[in-house]
Structure 1
Amino acid sequence: MTNAPLPANDDPLVEVAAHWCMRMHAADCTAEERAQFQQWIDEDQSHAIEYVAMLEIWDLSEHLPASKPAPNQRPALRQTPSTTALPARPRRRGWRPQARAIALALVALPLAAYGGWIMGWLPNAYEHFETEQNISRITLGDGSEVELNSHSELSFSNYRDRRDVSLSSGEAYFHVTHDSTHPFVISAGDGTITVTGTRFNVWKYQDSVVVTVTEGSVRVQSERDGNDSTLTPGMQASFKAGDLKPKVKSVDTQTALAWREGKLILNDITLGEALPLLNRYLDKPLLLADQSTADIRIGGIYSTRDVASLVKALPKVLPIKLEPQSDGSTLIRTRL
């Protein structure tokens, strides 16, 4: 059986003691682990003291018998000549069932959390953010800064070996705090965006994702088993569900990120290309009647705060008509 990962050298002492406490009481604890534990105990007197304190907490819950310990569970704590013997721990009696259950819960949950953190299964911090009409500027627990566009939803989890972000919907511009040993991984759609410290934008619309880089480099993978692409400043990658590799191109980042200044720049693009950009600011989506309508071109600079008024004005500047639908959406059709 594979041994549990060893604690890192810079982990707080109480977390390391909790790790060894759980491993020494685990049924699958190996002789190699017991030797590693004894080596840790021998390294510093404070290790032995912290471990005995952790055993005190463990025994309070009566998760283990409070009588004589088994040899493979309590390896000898070596004492230096200047170290006084640690006092024996009295056996605890008379706990009522309710008290035992409470004590077990109070101890087991923190220890499980320590173990989950050490193994990389559980985060030690979780944050969730949602926006409605306005842009929000937030700082994540690791110090990374995020500008969250309207109608967006994002969550952040800090694990021991990585920082996980999930962009459920909408758009976010990231300035990631550099940490080469603690990568920043964003899940969006079926793909992931991995960085260690840089500035970039991620936009998720339905099952499509667009990543635009302004500083540093970003690795984009469209699917778990798909090929990845590395982006540098001025590059943009897009992918949707089922794409084995992102599509990469060069872009004008000022146009792509104009939303940060409350602007929507449509630089002579088709309605088919413009619709996703418009729909992210509307409560009910616009739909296209046919390909000929999708091919009509549009340009201009508009305010993201009043896209609904822009849509109402479209028939005045384009050869189209708007047809409200029963579900609240609006169908755009070419005006004959």
Structure 2
Amino acid sequence: MNRRIAEQAADWALRLADGISEPERLDFDAWLRRDPAHGRAFDRARRIMGEAGMALRLDTDFTRRLLRRPEKRGGPTAIVVLLVLAAAGGAFLAADGPLRLRADFVSAAGDMPRIALSDGSYVTLNGESAIAAHFDAGTRSVTLLKGEAYFEVASDPARPFVVTAGPGRIEARGTAFDVNLVGGEVDVTVTEHTVAVKATAAGAETLLASGRRLAYDDQGILRRPEPVPEGFETPWRQGRLIFEDRPLSMVAEEIFRHLPGKVVVADRALAGRRISGSFDLADPEAALASFATAFGLRVAHLGSVLTVIY
């Protein structure tokens, strides 16, 4: 990558993160159109900015030096990401601060608590998950803030039980169901009775019966419901992750609900690689090593804070 273009991309990434005026936005759009290499350089800079977040903006000189480095294949790319994320480690750890202020229940990595709610319902949290609950005389409302939760809902016809997750809501109809926030999507799986799912881009509710699953994306667009093989509805509750034709980035996110620290897939093409398999949660560190070997991946650890898959 041309160093001058990399420098310009780094500057634009930082300026956009801080906010720009409308004339500056027009200048940026013109710069992007001028050369296809500009768009590639900006995507790389934005990708690194997105992974490192606040820490990179706090030390702009350090950030520019890292963003301006030419991108190379293989090991050097992972090393650059490790350096960036090493600087951002403190910000990663602090990033859940606002979420914790909103949450009523939070689980740590590898922790899967079953929690009794005030109405007699139960919720089991997957690792690295959080919910906020608001119950009053007329409603029972739960917001899934992060991760995954399995709900066993107590009957109360006078008070609907509604879970909000991303740009959608799930209303229980006397039921048990799982809601998973992963990779910018929301997956809903029903294990007993029925739920009504309504996403922002859908005109009407979709009824989802036991043994079926659907997803909606961050724009509220529903995918077609599909059957789930018996015993595969919520494998994490039995100590396994099972994934079929899923992007590596999503699989990594779910794996690291059971391992300490954060995970980054260093290359966009690799992050989108679709894989199938299973993962044993009894010994997640050993399983991660076997998983990487099976799929030809390399893993670099920065203590227990950060892991890079490349």
Using structure 2 for the length normalisation, give the TM-score: 0.58
Relative to structure 1, is the Cα distance of residues 253 and 208 closer, same or farther in structure 2, using a 3 angstrom cutoff? Answer: farther
1:7 alignment counterpart: none
Give the counterpart letter for 2:231 in structure 1: Q
- Contact kept, 8 Å, 1:191 with 1:223, in 2: the verdict is yes
C-alpha distance in structure 2 between counterparts of 1:244 and 1:266, whole Å = 22
Instruction: Report the number of matched residues.
Output: 206
Larger gyration radius, structure 1 or structure 2: 1
Indicate yes or no: 2:287 matched with 1:310.
Answer: yes
**Secondary structure class of the residue paired with 1:254:** coil
Give the counterpart letter for 2:181 in structure 1: K
2:106 alignment counterpart: 130
Give the counterpart letter for 1:330 in structure 2: V
Give the counterpart letter for 2:294 in structure 1: V
Relative to structure 1, is the Cα distance of residues 163 and 253 closer, same or farther in structure 2, using a 3 angstrom cutoff? Answer: farther
Superposed CA RMSD in Å reads 3.0
Relative to structure 1, is the Cα distance of residues 237 and 167 closer, same or farther in structure 2, using a 3 angstrom cutoff? Answer: same
1:207 alignment counterpart: 184
- Contact kept, 8 Å, 1:227 with 1:245, in 2: the verdict is no
2:273 alignment counterpart: 295
C-alpha distance in structure 2 between counterparts of 1:311 and 1:277, whole Å = 12
Correspondence 1:1-336 to 2 at 5 A? 128-132=104-108, 133-205=110-182, 207-223=184-200, 226-252=203-229, 254-266=231-243, 271=248, 274-282=251-259, 283-287=261-265, 289-291=267-269, 294-295=272-273, 297-303=275-281, 305-322=282-299, 328-332=306-310
- Contact kept, 8 Å, 2:132 with 2:142, in 1: the verdict is yes
Percent sequence identity is 27
- Contact kept, 8 Å, 2:140 with 2:162, in 1: the verdict is yes
- Contact kept, 8 Å, 1:266 with 1:298, in 2: the verdict is yes
Higher helix fraction: Structure 1 or Structure 2? 2
C-alpha distance in structure 2 between counterparts of 1:320 and 1:165, whole Å = 38
Unaligned runs of 5+ in 2: 1-101
C-alpha distance in structure 1 between counterparts of 2:284 and 2:300, whole Å = 17
Give the counterpart letter for 2:275 in structure 1: R
Unaligned runs of 5+ in 1: 1-125
Relative to structure 1, is the Cα distance of residues 183 and 287 closer, same or farther in structure 2, using a 3 angstrom cutoff? Answer: same
Deviation at 1:300, TM superposition (A): 3.5
Runs ≥4 in structure 1, deviation > 6 angstroms? none
Relative to structure 1, is the Cα distance of residues 296 and 137 closer, same or farther in structure 2, using a 3 angstrom cutoff? Answer: closer
Relative to structure 1, is the Cα distance of residues 227 and 308 closer, same or farther in structure 2, using a 3 angstrom cutoff? Answer: farther
- Contact kept, 8 Å, 2:192 with 2:210, in 1: the verdict is yes
2:42 alignment counterpart: none
**Secondary structure class of the residue paired with 1:238:** strand
**Secondary structure class of the residue paired with 1:147:** strand
Relative to structure 1, is the Cα distance of residues 151 and 183 closer, same or farther in structure 2, using a 3 angstrom cutoff? Answer: same
